[in-house]
Structure 1
Amino acid sequence: MSTTFDEMQKRMNHLGNLNNFIEDLFEKIPGNLISKKQQKKLMDVVMNDDELKLLLEGLKNPRPPRFVLVGRTGVGKSSFINAMSGHYLAEVSDVEIGTKEARRFTYESDGQVYFEVIDTRGIGESETFKVKAEEDLLEVIRDFNPDALLFLQKATERAHIDKDIEITKRIIKKANVELPLVGIITHIDELHPSREKKPANYPTEKKELIREKKAQLMRIFNEYDLKYSAIIPVSSYIEWSGTSDNPEMKQTMDFDGRYGIEELLDFLESSIDVRAAIHLGMTIRLNKVAEKIANRFIKVFSAVAATVALSPIIATDIAVLLALQTILLMIVAYLSGRDLEFKTARELLISIGGIGATGFTLRMIAQQGSKFVNLVLPGAGSAISASIASGGTYAIGKAAVAYYLKDVPESKLKNIVKEAREEFDGLSE
């Protein structure tokens, strides 16, 4: 296995242990900051977020996404799967699934399964596709329990699409399963001028043809009253080095002409079962999954910081907020593959949070000073303090994401904090 793959596996295992890490983290908060009772209460509040629970559950039990592919021979299914993963994957046929109208595959590399796929190329190509074959296929799809149905149509062809859509609609209706149907227009790189394979250099006429092909497929779906979740034009054009005939030779990407793949992955990760979405992201876009989880933690911790700050007693919440923000920073660091000691994280917090100890201290004084307003107008000062605490926590979280997950240098974090603060203020209006 390559070093890159080893690192990916190590990071995946690291993320899979996030639940245990968080439990240990709250227990390690120094007793001079907050009591054991406060530790438990903080953890219970943080971990009570429904969306966060789903993400963490997905991390504990990820599984390869399962797709049903509809599309004729030559539509470029294997190239499309490779383009989605960014790897040259081995197509491994599983045991017979009881109907010649479909074949089941796993797509894998270095022992890691990326996708499980049912390829239904037989449904439109067979002139003998009768009721019995359709029933067999329905049974296979039900047993397979797919996450999405991907309808692949070649951009340069129009023939047979009506028949394929008719059969697809019938199967979806009879299968009686709720799953996203994604229309995927493949080979858009072959549209005129086909010599231009680099998406950044696509001329206006090519972009217009892509829009026309998308509108055309939308019209056909609508004509047949077939509900779709998305229609995405893609190019899977990649030039690989090495020889696929030699399994020992590693295939690497020499030229990347992919188009629309990021949009497709974004859609799938937000639409399919969270366990499959987590696996998809962890094997293909590890940092993006980590960032998604980090952003949820930022949202949760910011809300908790506001609640903590609503305490009307001057100075009682500084220790709790310091602990809360330090934990947030440690979680973001953990998501990047790093383990920080509490003391190190607290020192980094002061640096990131205020870009220097003075800035951090002044903000804390400003937060606590606002509570003196309570002496005149009960409750008003706490509301001001809650906004400062919540916004500050949000900004610290965003700075940690920039620093640990996006490799932004520490010298630029001051601007990140400022922009995040402005962003938070905009969201709060």
Structure 2
Amino acid sequence: MDNSKTEDLNFLLQYIKEQIDKLPITQSKKDKMLEKLLMVHQMTIDAREPRIALVGRRGSGKSSLINALYGSEKQYVSSIKSGTGRGKWLWFPSEDDKKIRLLDSRGLGESEKPTEEFNESNPMDEMKRTVSEELPDVFLFLIKAKETDARIEEDLNELKDLREYVKDEFNYDVPVICVVTQVDEVDPPHYKQVPLDKNVKKAKNIQDAVVLMEKRFEEHEIPLLSTIPVCSYIDFDEDGNIDYDMRWNIDRLANYLIESLPNEAKLKAAKATRVISVKKKFALSIVGIIASISGGIGTQPIPVADLPFITALQGLMVVIIAFIAGKEINTKIAAEFIAALGINIGVAFLVREGVRAAVKFIPGGGNIVSGTVAGGVTFGLGLAAIAYFIEEEDIETSKELLKKGKRKYNEDNSAE
């Protein structure tokens, strides 16, 4: 986020922390709320671009996969060609539009000697040097479905060596996701309909490739987060809009990818993806955290849990959801969205005077809100914001989701 957004968010987070400290609840409950608030801080103020290391031989589908996940046609082009270095950090989609940090390699096990000079004495040392410059958050090991029975022992041995180097030197155990690519090419090759596993024979062959790769990783003692078969085939028109889409399992991969990232890299990874279901899932996790904090004030009405505290939480949540959706938004627009839904919790004051003035407005008494009401309204508002900003539904649909969300929260928490 830019500096102005960060400043507002930082102010909101600090204000919320101060109010949690004042709540007349047990210290253990405060600690749980503050722990959740820290997660939000890591995901917003500390947010950075994810660092993804791509490992796979030439032709394994790295460019296609990244485009299917995050970009459009020809935005990502590998600089690692025959005769060049073993690995380079690149910005995707470009130096002028920095969304994701990618470490691209020609394939750890490829033995031909590059013509480009190395800074180190051998290719593996060069790769370690590159990894040391920017630690990857996750390794994506790509292998074509029809090549899972090919000789890849050297690749896996060097991947293991690289992971152990990072763990020994930097005390970080880099997670690995094995991506079995181009599964549309397995027998029967004529079956190209999504979902690809609807064909019994193709489904079996895809699963056989997955099982084989899991066996290979186990033999090389490399822990796997998951092995995911995918088809990344997608075409775009001249304006960058999807023209033909045969993607399969990309949403599943994106979910695993984001879940594997550190908190500070999750937000921008979710924003960058083209997969709406992934944006929605990550936004729901934010809603759950914020609603939990809001509802954590207790089941009994507590005067100190006043309107600006709840307003600050809700405004923070809406701004984050809008950011995930890729919208340009500020706290004033977030407040106007809340007001448009008919939620009247100090919102008019927030719109008129701004966040900083609003949180200083402490009612002398009354305006008491219970934890159940606060949590329910916040959860419903979160669902409404996801519908409006991420799914691009109209305001009336968002209002209905606000009501459904409040009911669901109350039902889920009534037995507690």
Same fold (TM over 0.5): yes
Compared with structure 1, are the counterparts of its residues 14 and 288 closer, same or farther at alpha carbon in structure 2 (3 Å cutoff)? farther
Counterpart residue number, 1:224 = 220
Moved more, 202-211 or 327-336: 327-336
Compared with structure 1, are the counterparts of its residues 419 and 273 closer, same or farther at alpha carbon in structure 2 (3 Å cutoff)? closer
| 1:149-190 CA distance string (max 9 Å, x none) | 111110111212223212222232234342111111111122
Which residues of structure 1 form unaligned runs of 5+?
1-10, 27-36, 243-249, 311-316, 351-387
Given candidates 137, 149, 160, the residue that maps to 2:139 is 149
Counterpart CA distance in 1 for 2:33 and 2:412 is 25
TM-score (ref. length: structure 1):
0.70
Given candidates 88, 98, 107, the residue that maps to 2:92 is 107
* Matched positions, count: 355
Counterpart residue number, 2:248 = 259
Q: Secondary structure at the match of 1:235?
A: coil
Compared with structure 1, are the counterparts of its residues 211 and 92 closer, same or farther at alpha carbon in structure 2 (3 Å cutoff)? closer
Counterpart residue number, 2:386 = 405
Given candidates 315, 319, 323, the residue that maps to 1:334 is 319
Compared with structure 1, are the counterparts of its residues 18 and 209 closer, same or farther at alpha carbon in structure 2 (3 Å cutoff)? farther
CA contact (8 A) 2:196 2:203 kept: no
Q: Secondary structure at the match of 2:222?
A: coil
Counterpart residue number, 1:292 = 285
| 1:352-382 CA distance string (max 9 Å, x none) | xxxxxxxxxxxxxxxxxxxxxxxxxxxxxxx
Counterpart CA distance in 1 for 2:43 and 2:406 is 30
CA contact (8 A) 1:214 1:233 kept: yes
Given candidates 229, 233, 258, the residue that maps to 1:233 is 229
Compared with structure 1, are the counterparts of its residues 197 and 51 closer, same or farther at alpha carbon in structure 2 (3 Å cutoff)? farther
Aligned pair 1:171/2:173, yes or no?
Answer: no
Aligned pair 1:59/2:44, yes or no?
Answer: yes
C-alpha RMSD of matched pairs (Å): 3.9
Counterpart residue number, 1:268 = 257
Counterpart residue number, 1:368 = none
Question: Following TM superposition, by how much is the alpha carbon of 1:322 offset from its aligned partner in structure 2, in angstroms?
Answer: 5.1
Question: Following TM superposition, by how much is the alpha carbon of 1:131 offset from its aligned partner in structure 2, in angstroms?
Answer: 7.8
Greater Rg by CA: 1
TM-score (ref. length: structure 2):
0.72
Q: Secondary structure at the match of 1:114?
A: strand
Which residues of structure 2 form unaligned runs of 5+?
115-119, 323-328, 346-368, 389-396
CA contact (8 A) 1:12 1:282 kept: no
Query: Identity across aligned pairs (percent)?
Result: 24
Counterpart CA distance in 1 for 2:131 and 2:177 is 16
Counterpart residue number, 1:85 = 70
Question: Following TM superposition, by how much is the alpha carbon of 1:17 offset from its aligned partner in structure 2, in angstroms?
Answer: 4.9
Counterpart residue number, 2:189 = 194
Counterpart CA distance in 1 for 2:11 and 2:337 is 13
Counterpart CA distance in 2 for 1:24 and 1:68 is 35
Q: Secondary structure at the match of 1:91?
A: coil
Aligned pair 1:118/2:103, yes or no?
Answer: yes
Aligned pair 1:210/2:206, yes or no?
Answer: yes
More helix by share: 1
Counterpart residue number, 1:246 = none
Counterpart CA distance in 1 for 2:69 and 2:108 is 24
